[in-house]
């Protein structure tokens, strides 16, 4: 894990995991490192190094993922950027003559110059690096890169869809860049970088501060090397292949940078300045003692981290072999070329739909206002109707009352007239009085009374033309002669007679 604070590169954590296929030969072993760089602070994490990352070496059950999680405890991996640093066989190189790169630099032209290989490779992604002799070095990725599967498996193991890969680096090119930046060789110097791994080694030649030649991967490392003399014959062979007349500088790094190795090179190349690659410009105070003692083992991932950080600060421009399919897979919205053609249509469709929605919303607001107004008007009309109904009821009650009053008044006048006639007759005839006026039913009126003169009774009955004198009974009152009478009158005839 590497961070850059105040222009100072600081190594926070380092860990390595060796992954070996059970049926891998030594010639197939290369070096790959998985690196993660935090977006916020430029943090770089080395999660592997020193061996070819072949998925055959993993046990199903998340052994690799568990180891990485244990080493990176406390790190939010989903907020980091992963940078695989690859070497052979996941990446391979082809020299492109100057006459081709100088006149035509199209990718298709460069791909046509690549010698056909038995193994498939990604022809859509080519990285170019200028060489010291004016030619260019084309870098190609193999189609099947185990490192990508490992990072994808780690993401799924931690419950994430993908982890973000920002760049894919070449181990040889990143190491050459870091050594040239660190050592600052003279322009005419020929320099050799010797990287010794556990089961492989790499020879990288520089002329001045530019790459001159990358030697073939050597099947030699700390695990299978018994004498350093084997290196020297390999170095002389690669010097002949790369057209390198002599060596002015030799830089040793990797799993073995011991004094014995340095002294052996001094004995074979006495005119060369032999040194080991140090990290005195990097703060390693955060590492534990074990990681500090083998800091040279992490040379490749640290060199790639420094190259990447320099790219961010525009100090250099390196290659990036990140495949297009990974870029697409990491996008939140994944579109093909036809998808981008649809985007303008989506924009106009969204604009059209939004405009219609706004217009409809305005119309809805108008209708809602009208509904609210009509609701208020309806309530007012209902209130008015209730008042009208109350008035109508009152009018109807008044008519009924008026009819009752009229009926009562009419009857009252008739009875008043009858009573007036009775009282007038009684007043004139002192010998006659009425005791009761009885209405036994609705059709007949009965008058009960007394008289001390029988003739007066006949006169009274005659005066009421419709009356019938039912009976006359002798009934003395206080020893005086008196007659009690009962007289009936039919109501209809009485009313008619009184009206007349």
Binned at pLDDT 50, 70 and 90, residue 177 comes out as very high
Greater model confidence, 18 or 364: 364
Q: CA 377, 380, 382, 387 torsion: positive or negative? A: negative
Name the residue with tokens 């996941």: 90
Name the residue with tokens 């296929």: 21
- 140: phi then psi, degrees, rounded to nearest 5: -125, 145
Poorest-pLDDT segment among 145-154, 195-204, 413-422: 413-422
pTM for the structure as a whole: 0.60
Residue 152 lies in a domain: yes
Where is 154: in which H helix or E strand? Answer: helix 146-157
Name the residue with tokens 């390595």: 16
Token pair in block for residue 454: 């029988």
If asked whether residues 434 and 390 sit together in one domain, one would say no
If asked whether residues 260 and 401 sit together in one domain, one would say no
* Residue-wise pLDDT tens digits, 71-99: 778 788 888 888 999 988 888 888 888 76
Q: What dihedral do alpha carbons 100, 106, 110, 111 form, nearest 10°? A: -160
CA distance 246 to 188: 11
If asked whether residues 314 and 368 sit together in one domain, one would say no
Q: What pLDDT is recorded for position 53? A: 37
Range of the domain at 348: 335-410
CA distance 469 to 136: 157
CB 470 within 8 A of CB 488: yes
Q: What pLDDT is recorded for position 170? A: 92
Domain CATH for 241: 3.30.420.260
Where is 447: in which H helix or E strand? Answer: strand 444-451
Q: Which 8-state DSSP code applies to residue 118?
A: S
| Half-sphere CA count of 484, side-chain side, radius 13 A | 8
The residue from 298, 317, 334 where one domain ends is 334
If asked whether residues 366 and 218 sit together in one domain, one would say no
User: Best-predicted range by mean pLDDT among 210-214, 466-470, 483-487?
Assistant: 210-214
CB 154 within 8 A of CB 68: yes
Greater model confidence, 141 or 6: 141
Residue 122 lies in a domain: no
Token pair in block for residue 347: 């924009």
DSSP string, 455-483: HHHHHHHHHSTTEEEEEEEE--BTTB--E
| Over residues 118-129, mean pLDDT | 72
434 - beta bridge partners? 449
The residue from 334, 361, 378 where one domain ends is 334
Number of H helices, E strands in the chain: 13, 20
If asked whether residues 328 and 468 sit together in one domain, one would say no
CA angle 333, 338, 342 (to 5 degrees): 75
Domain CATH for 482: 3.30.70
| Over residues 172-194, mean pLDDT | 92
Average pLDDT value over all residues in the chain: 79
If asked whether residues 329 and 360 sit together in one domain, one would say no
CB 146 within 8 A of CB 51: no
Q: What pLDDT is recorded for position 48? A: 39
Greater model confidence, 121 or 483: 483
If asked whether residues 239 and 301 sit together in one domain, one would say yes
CA distance 169 to 177: 12
| Over residues 336-354, mean pLDDT | 79
Question: How many domains does the chain contain in total?
Answer: 3
Q: Indicate the pairing of strand 164-165 with strand 201-207.
A: unpaired
Q: What pLDDT is recorded for position 496? A: 67
Residue 291 lies in a domain: yes
If asked whether residues 493 and 405 sit together in one domain, one would say no
If asked whether residues 454 and 312 sit together in one domain, one would say no
Residue 137 lies in a domain: no
Residue 96 lies in a domain: no
* Residue-wise pLDDT tens digits, 427-448: 777 788 888 888 766 677 888 8
CA distance 482 to 430: 13
CA distance 231 to 233: 6
If asked whether residues 243 and 342 sit together in one domain, one would say no
Token pair in block for residue 422: 């009775």
Residue 104 lies in a domain: no
Residue 424 lies in a domain: no
CA distance 126 to 138: 6
251 - beta bridge partners? 193, 275
- Is residue 89 reached through a cis peptide bond, with omega within 30 degrees of 0 on the bond before it? yes
The residue from 284, 316, 334 where one domain ends is 334
CA distance 306 to 395: 104
CB neighbourhood size of 404 (10 A): 10
If asked whether residues 79 and 42 sit together in one domain, one would say yes
* Residue-wise pLDDT tens digits, 25-56: 333 433 344 444 333 333 333 433 333 333 34
If asked whether residues 59 and 26 sit together in one domain, one would say yes
Residue 383 lies in a domain: yes
Q: What pLDDT is recorded for position 24? A: 39
Is 328's pLDDT higher than 90? no
């Amino acid at each position: 894990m590497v961070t850059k604070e105040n222009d100072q590169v600081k190594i926070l954590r380092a860990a390595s995991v060796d992954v070996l296929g059970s049926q891998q030969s030594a010639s197939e072993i290369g070096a790959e490192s998985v690196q993660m760089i935090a977006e916020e602070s430029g943090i770089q994490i080395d999660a592997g190094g020193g061996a070819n990352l072949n998925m055959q070496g993993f046990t199903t059950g998340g052994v690799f993922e568990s180891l990485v999680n244990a080493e990176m405890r406390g790190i939010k991996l989903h907020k980091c950027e992963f940078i695989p640093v690859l070497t052979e066989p996941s990446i391979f190189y082809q020299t492109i003559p100057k006459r081709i790169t100088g006149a035509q630099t199209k990718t298709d032209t460069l791909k046509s110059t690549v010698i056909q290989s038995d193994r498939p490779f990604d022809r859509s992604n080519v990285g170019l690096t200028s060489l010291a002799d004016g030619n260019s070095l084309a870098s190609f990725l193999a189609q099947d890169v185990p490192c990508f599967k490992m990072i994808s498996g780690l993401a799924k193991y931690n419950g994430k869809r993908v982890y973000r890969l920002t760049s894919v680096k070449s181990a040889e090119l990143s190491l050459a860049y870091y050594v040239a930046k660190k050592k600052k060789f003279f322009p005419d110097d020929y320099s050799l970088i010797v990287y010794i791994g556990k089961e492989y080694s790499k020879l990288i030649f520089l002329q001045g501060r530019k790459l001159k030649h990358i030697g073939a991967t050597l099947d030699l490392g700390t695990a299978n090397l018994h004498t350093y003399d084997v290196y020297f014959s390999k170095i002389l062979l690669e010097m002949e292949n790369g057209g390198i007349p002599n060596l002015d500088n030799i830089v040793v790094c990797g799993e073995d940078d011991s004094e014995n190795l340095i002294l052996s090179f001094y004995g074979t190349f006495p005119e060369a300045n032999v040194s080991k690659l140090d990290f005195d410009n990097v703060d390693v105070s955060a590492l534990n003692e074990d990681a500090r003692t083998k800091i040279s083992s992490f040379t490749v991932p640290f060199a790639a981290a420094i190259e990447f950080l320099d790219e961010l600060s525009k100090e250099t421009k390196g290659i990036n072999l990140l495949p297009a399919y990974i870029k697409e897979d990491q996008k939140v919205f994944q579109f093909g070329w036809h998808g981008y053609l649809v985007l303008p249509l989506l924009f106009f469709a969204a604009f059209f739909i939004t405009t219609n929605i706004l217009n409809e919303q305005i119309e809805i607001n108008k209708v809602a206002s009208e509904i609210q107004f009509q609701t208020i008007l309806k309530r007012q009309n209902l209130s008015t109707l209730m008042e009208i109904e109350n008035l109508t009821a009152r009018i109807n009650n008044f008519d009924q009352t008026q009819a009752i009053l009229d009926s009562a008044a009419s009857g009252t006048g008739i009875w008043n007239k009858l009573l007036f006639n009775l009282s007038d007759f009684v007043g004139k005839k002192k010998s006659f009085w009425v005791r009761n006026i009885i209405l036994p039913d609705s059709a007949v009126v009965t008058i009960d009374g007394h008289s001390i003169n029988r003739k007066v009774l006949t006169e009274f009955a005659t005066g009421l033309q419709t009356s019938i004198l039912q009976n006359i009974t002798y009934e003395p009152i206080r020893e005086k002669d008196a007659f009690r009478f009962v007289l009936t009158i039919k109501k209809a005839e009485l009313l008619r007679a009184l009206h007349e």
